[in-house]
């Protein structure tokens, strides 16, 4: 007999019962969908034949929802194979808020087809059929999927190490392959929806055949599904591409895919953000530099970027030489550092650049300002000694939090990513780098998580992600420690003993892509940017032509005082002009009639429709100056 501890209740079993049977026989109030047995997640169909400690996983747990979503991806596969029998299944992983499945089909599946696929999924789920897990040998897995002509599953099986367990899941006549765990039936699959279709490539390589990717979402309750769909509706309203067009901020066109055409108002927002970061750079003793857009490929080969990012690099040639348009600024910054002999007394040296970089992202991944091919990084590199690492990184962590807070973001997630499979540098260097970052994080007294294997190819990194008002997570800032590239590119300094050493290089970005960050701001505030970020602070509106001269003088005064203003003297009704500028999200609308001219006052309305009444011009100026100086978010509260 074996002793099993479930929810602090010890149960004896002879080793013939499954988890599901053990729970049903002993807990009438529990309805688990999986369990963690001695720390390992398992299906409820697993037989327990040893002494075990068991933690129940319910549908509302994070792991439970992921299992629901993963199983839902299999039910999608079940449905798609019934509707499109010649489809070849590729992979169907869980992602944030849902799942996707990559498929290969000669038939093009559009978003119009999703409703019929979803209807069949619901029909299959309502059958409450049993889902059976079978552990098989590699040979049997190959036989199963060869018989079904599943070419991509066979490729995946070929990559599985011989010592790894292979499990297949039976969904009536449909069979899929997965580590699991999964639901033991479709009973818990009640609240799901297919969302959209996009393109993808096998292994993410654009040289491979194009696949179709179908996204879906699945939840544990009807209310949670509805809440998520409402959130998506709100996100649709806030789509920066729509707002950008509506407010005349920017546009894209086919002649330059993935590259933004900034209009006047959008470029003002971009430069407000850039100037704000510039002031931070000056305060922390950065030297702001600029490096060439095109560098000889031999330099990118030495730095390691050519081998790692060859598919993303734009190539150019001239006079029988091969060049690359820079995908990042690091090698250029080392070239600046290498000009002149450096002493340990000179360190740390901090170089910053608003570097315009180009990356040949697949066309199917491009998405407005959020994913583009040419963008501006707030890139910087700190050259320091090993003893200076912790202090410099602590300063960076502190300022990153401060800057995000100034833009209105305070929910920050921090991850430490460690050595990836493909990397440069010795194990000793990686040990030293990872320990240095862990020490800096711990001494900064912030919460952080470990993200194993996701570091940069030249060193470990700390990534900063922020959560917006719709609870979407955006990865922005990064701090990357690099002991390798300075040595590869011959950077050095003389230490106090007169020895020549390679400096440590800290790569850091706070906002990442400025273009992307502007897109995030537009969506976060739905176009109603805080006053200090708004491209225009106020518009002066006359009621009749009698006030034109006065309005022009007022406009000049406001602009001279740093309150960016425009004027509207169109021969239109005042209510029309007020409505028009409210739609354009101008923070303050200053209405001037005969009474206002006589008293040197303005009638003030906000873009939200609030009537602030009549105010002296000087009082209005002082109010706006205070809001701008403090970078207050008051207008949006």
Residues annotated catalytic, as ranges: 330, 359, 377, 379, 381, 461, 507
- Paired strand residues for 541: 568, 591
Residues, the chain: 637
- Report the SS3 class of residue 260: coil
Distance separating alpha carbons of residues 435 and 450, to the nearest angstrom: 12
Dist. CA 118–CA 191, nearest whole Å: 11
Q: Where are the alpha helices (DSSP H) in 489-616?
A: 514-524, 548-560, 574-583, 594-599
Q: Is 34 left (phi over 0), alpha (psi -120 to 50) or beta?
A: beta
Distance of CA 486 to CAs 353, 525, 618, Å?
Answer: 18, 41, 56
**Residue 614 · residue 601 · CB < 8 Å:** yes
Cα–Cα dist 91/118, whole Å: 18
Question: Of the candidates 192, 127, 491, which has an alpha carbon nearest to the alpha carbon of residue 334?
Answer: 491
Q: At how many degrees (to 10) do helices 151-159 and 138-147 cross?
A: 170
Whether omega before 490 lies within 30 degrees of 0, making that bond cis, reads no
Comparing CA positions, the residue from 488, 476, 481, 475 lying closest to residue 460 is 481
| DSSP state, residue 461 | E
- Cβ atoms of 216 and 195 within 8 Å: the answer is yes
* CA separation for the pair 464, 509 (Å, rounded): 10
């Amino acid at each position: 007999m074996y002793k099993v501890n479930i929810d602090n209740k010890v149960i004896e079993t002879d080793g013939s019962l499954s988890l599901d049977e053990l729970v049903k026989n002993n807990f009438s109030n529990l309805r688990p969908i999986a369990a963690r047995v001695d720390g390992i997640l398992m299906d409820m169909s697993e037989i327990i034949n040893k002494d075990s400690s068991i933690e129940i996983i319910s549908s509302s747990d994070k792991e439970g929802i992921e299992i629901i979503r993963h199983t839902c991806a299999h039910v999608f596969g079940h449905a798609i194979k019934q509707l499109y029998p010649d489809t070849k299944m590729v992979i169907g992983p869980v992602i944030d808020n849902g799942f996707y499945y990559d498929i290969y089909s000669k038939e093009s599946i559009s978003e119009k087809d999703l409703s019929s696929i979803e209807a069949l999924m619901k029909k299959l789920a309502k059958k409450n059929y049993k889902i059976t897990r079978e552990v098989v040998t590699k040979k049997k897995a190959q036989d199963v999927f060869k018989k079904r002509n599943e070419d991509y599953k066979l490729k995946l099986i070929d990559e599985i190490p011989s010592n790894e367990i292979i499990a297949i899941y039976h969904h009536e006549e449909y069979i899929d392959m997965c580590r699991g765990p999964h639901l033991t039936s479709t009973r818990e699959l009640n609240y799901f929806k297919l969302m959209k279709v996009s393109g993808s490539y096998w292994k993410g390589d654009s040289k491979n055949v194009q696949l179709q990717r179908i996204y879906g979402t699945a939840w544990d309750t009807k209310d949670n599904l509805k809440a998520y769909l409402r959130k998506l509706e709100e996100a649709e309203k806030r789509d920066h591409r729509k707002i950008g067009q509506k407010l005349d901020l920017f546009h894209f066109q086919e002649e330059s895919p993935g590259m933004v055409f900034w209009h006047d108002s959008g470029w003002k927002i971009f430069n407000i953000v850039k100037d704000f970061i510039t002031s931070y750079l000056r305060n922390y003793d950065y030297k702001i530099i600029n490096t060439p857009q095109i560098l000889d490929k031999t330099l990118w080969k030495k730095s390691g970027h050519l081998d790692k990012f060859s598919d993303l690099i734009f190539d150019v040639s001239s006079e029988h030489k091969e060049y690359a348009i820079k995908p990042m600024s690091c090698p250029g910054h080392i070239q600046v550092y290498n000009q002149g002999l450096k002493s340990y007394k000179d360190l740390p040296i901090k170089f910053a650049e608003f570097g315009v970089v180009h990356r040949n992202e697949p066309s199917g991944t491009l998405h407005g300002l959020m994913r583009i091919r040419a963008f501006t990084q707030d890139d910087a590199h700190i050259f320091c000694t090993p003893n200076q690492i912790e202090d410099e990184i602590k300063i960076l962590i502190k300022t990153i939090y401060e800057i995000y807070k100034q833009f209105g973001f305070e929910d920050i997630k921090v991850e430490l990513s460690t050595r990836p499979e493909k990397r440069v540098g010795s194990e000793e260097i990686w040990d030293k780098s990872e320990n240095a970052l862990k020490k800096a994080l711990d001494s900064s007294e912030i919460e952080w998580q470990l993200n194993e294997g996701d570091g940069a190819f030249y060193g470990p990194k700390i990534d900063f992600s922020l959560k917006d008002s719709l609870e979407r997570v955006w990865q922005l800032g990064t701090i990357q420690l690099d002991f390798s590239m300075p040595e590869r590119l011959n950077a050095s300094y003389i230490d106090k003993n007169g020895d020549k050493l390679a400096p440590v290089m800290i790569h850091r970005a706070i906002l990442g892509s400025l273009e992307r960050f502007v897109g995030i701001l537009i969506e976060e505030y739905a176009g109603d940017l805080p006053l200090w970020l708004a491209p225009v602070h106020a518009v002066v509106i006359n009621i009749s032509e009698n006030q034109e001269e006065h309005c022009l003088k007022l406009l000049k005064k406001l602009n001279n005082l740093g309150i960016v203003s425009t004027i509207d003297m169109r021969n239109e009704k005042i209510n029309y002009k007020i409505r028009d500028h409210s739609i354009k999200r101008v923070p303050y609308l200053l209405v001037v009639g005969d009474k206002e001219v006589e008293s040197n006052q303005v009638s003030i309305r906000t873009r939200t429709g609030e009537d602030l009444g009549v105010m002296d011009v000087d009082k209005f100026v002082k109010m706006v100056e205070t809001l701008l100086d403090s970078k207050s978010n008051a207008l949006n509260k």
